Structure 1
Amino acid sequence: MNILIITPALRGSRAGNRATAERWQRLLGTAGHDVQVITEYRGEACDLLIALHAWRSREAIADFRSDWPNVPVIVVLTGTDVYQHQARYPADTLASMEAATVLIGLHDRVGQDIPTHLRGRLVTLYQSAALPTRRSEPPSEAFQVCVIGHLRDEKDSLRAARAARKMPPASRIRVVCAGKPHNEQWQAAVAAEVAENDRFQWVGELGEADTATLLTGSHLMVISSVMEGGANVVSEACRAGVPIVASDIPGNRGLLGDGYEGYFPVGDEAALANLLWRAETDPAFLDRLSQQVNRLAPRFTPEMERKSLEQALAMAVERGSSTQGINPEG
């Protein structure tokens, strides 16, 4: 098939949507498809459109559907689509979802959080991660915790740093944060945390290899987000065998499962501090987290992600080449 993938993230961006688009371009390319990644729709013809982000790609989706009413459209639902824009911009977000022949959700709880009549269009896809090619051993002089991702409100990026301040004096915790501040406010916030918190280190935005080195060189990774559509960094940690402590939100439970032991209430840095102290001082607990992420790792392989993509393509074709006639009940 001749496939267009549209993402709001520009070429060279380290945003998650850009990484996803380029990874899917490679995976679908190996399956024989001709795939182009674009950031603006300008009337191009194709056999199928994949739009990353229902709300941010809303104009492109509407224009494409108007220009090519008989061509299947797959809309990928991000965390902000499901947990923010559905409520903030309901008309535009729902219009993109309704225009989709198929919807892709990036964790297995998405179906619980979208309109009932759209659930029949949903394919769950777990984002993949490659096995790390570079590994480093965690330091012996510190209990290193990493936080990886752009510094922004949705990620609650400094929660682990603030939890570290509440740790007992005997703790050897060191929180290392990698990511680009979203704006000047986040730039100021991370600079202040560096100045005031001896247990915190910010290393800025890292490339892929250095990020893998940080991840594998940490005893544990924290993902403290207030909303997630299915964070790829969770896939990366599972594939690397690095234990995870995660905020208790649908996007994390939808990847790690209800039985995972490493959850803490969103925004609760005291609870997070207690959990980190337990991980630092209770080897059996940390080992159980390691065993759990290792058991989850097979769901995050490139082969599994490619199969899910092919399932979505097949479903789009099967449902017909037009959104006209789609049963409004899904």
Structure 2
Amino acid sequence: MSSTLRIPSSSPRARRPTVVIVCPARPEANNGNWHTARRWSRMLQGHCRIRIVERWQGEPCDLLIALHARRSADSLLRHAQAHPAVPRLLVLTGTDLYRDLAIDTSAQASLDVADGLVVLQEEGLALLPPSARTRATVIHQSVPAQGHAPFHTRWLNVLMVGHLREEKDPGTFWRAAARLAGRHDIHWTQIGRALEPRWAEGAEAVARALPRFRWLGGLPRGQTRQHIRRADVLVNCSRMEGGALVIAEAVRSGTPVLASRMSGNLGMLGPDHAGYFPVGDDAALASLVARCRDEPGFLEALQAQGQRRATLFEPDRERALVLHCVGQWLGDLM
């Protein structure tokens, strides 16, 4: 992408271009794909006519934006066959980058028919075939800043946010909590809807066994944001992650982060972040949590490291990059 951003004018035109965003998730799913689609829609309003659909069903457009290579493959391929001259932009998710592109032919086909690609953190570029990297742009997701509440003095408030599913690895969080069950000065909170009954059963069992663990289920985003702002440390245990919005929310709230050492988290927090633990290693996570409680300087250092990344997640920065990226494909229409 050019180092000079061209921000399209928002002045009235005879015909605004039409952009269709294919998002294979309903609003009630409240997941990362839906939040990305809705946020991009808001950023493009005033420049384009926007329509968000689950599947492309022949809607005319000047640009098709699709989220998720595998789940949007049918829409992308049918659009390419029907309108080969209309550009297509593919936003790649964590399951695309860290699983599907290597093994799934439909995800690979999506990559081939997309004119432009977007990854949500810089480490994602390395997961693309070399021939595809020249078509790719890095656009970090953004959130408004919120001031962090003072750290608790009597206990450490540890928070994990994310729908309960295999990719998010809630089991590592549960096992770490069990390892520190004797610590009365460490409290554990988990937010996220269980996507399968076994995850709900697991969370409920942990809450029954550990008096200082609570599972709040799925919450509205505003309430979740307040929990993040008031947490002493946020934990991300993901096995696959394209660029966790919850990490951006923590950083923009001044909340320190502990995260699994996997590519998607490295691309959000940087390679030198001090709060990494090996994927699935509950003993290492428990050790870091205890250190956050026992060494106030460590918690403050994690907070400072996050603040050095905070500008990556500013809404004005993401908006400029989205408008520039879309403007490259719409040209004079914008």
| TM-score of the superposed pair, with normalisation by structure 1 | 0.92
**Equivalent position amino acid for 1:164 in 2:** A
Paired residue secondary structure (2:45): helix
Match of 1:326 in 2: none
Segments of 4+ moved more than 2 angstroms? 135-142, 167-171, 314-318
| 1:35 corresponds to | 50
Q: Deviation per CA, 1:56-102, whole angstroms, max 9, x where unpaired? A: 0000001111111101100011000111112331x211100111110
Q: Within 5 Å, which residues of 2 pair with 1:1-330?
A: 1-30=17-46, 32-89=47-104, 91-132=105-146, 137-167=150-180, 169-170=182-183, 172-317=185-330
Deviations 1:8-44 (A, max 9, x none): 10133311111110011001115x2221111121101
- Contact 2:19–2:51 at 8 Å: present in 1 too? yes
Aligned to 1:12, what secondary structure does the other structure show?
helix
Q: C-alpha distance in 2, partners of 1:7/1:47?
A: 17
State the Cα distance separating 1:145 from its structure 2 match.
0.7
RMSD, aligned α-carbons: 1.8
Return the offset for 1:241: 0.6
For these two proteins, the number of residue pairs brought into alignment is: 317
Q: Which amino acid aligns with 2:210?
A: N
- Per mean C-alpha deviation after superposition, the further-off stretch among 157-166 and 92-101 is 157-166
For 1:204 and 1:11, the matched residues in 2 are separated by 17
Q: What's the offset of the Cα at 1:317?
A: 4.7
Q: Do the aligned residues in 1 keep the contact of 2:146 with 2:254 (CA within 8 Å)?
A: no
Secondary structure of the residue that 1:158 maps to in structure 2? helix
1:235-264 Cα shifts (integer Å, max 9, x gaps): 101110100000000000011111111100
Identity over aligned pairs, percent = 35
Structure 1: state its 5+ residue gaps: 322-330
1:170 shift after superposition: 4.2
Using the alignment, how far apart are the partners of 2:232 and 2:224 within structure 1?
14
1:160–1:175 CA contact under 8 A, matched in 2: no
Secondary structure at the aligned position of 2:122 is classed as coil
Listed one character per residue, the Cα deviations across residues 172-198 of structure 1 (whole Å, up to 9, x for unaligned) are: 111100000011111111111111122
Find the aligned partners of 2:172 and 2:193 in 1 and give their Cα distance.
16
Contact between 2:62 and 2:330, CA under 8 Å: does it hold in 1? no
Structure 1 CA distance, aligned partners of 2:293 and 2:181? 11
How far apart, in 1, do the equivalents of 2:144 and 2:232 lie?
19
- Decide whether the 8 Å contact of 1:126 with 1:299 is kept in 2: yes
In the alignment, what sits opposite 1:327? none
What one-letter code is carried by the residue in structure 1 that aligns with 2:26?
L
Secondary structure, counterpart of 1:109 in structure 2? helix
Aligned to 2:11: none
2:184–2:212 Cα contact (<8 Å) kept: no
**Unaligned residue ranges in structure 2 (runs of 5+):** 1-16
CA distance in 2, matches of 1:182, 1:106: 24
Contact (CA 8 Å) 1:144, 1:174: kept in 2 or not? yes
- Does structure 2 retain, via aligned residues, the 8 Å contact 1:128–1:235? yes
> Take 1:131 and 1:217, find their aligned partners in 2: how far apart are those partners?
14
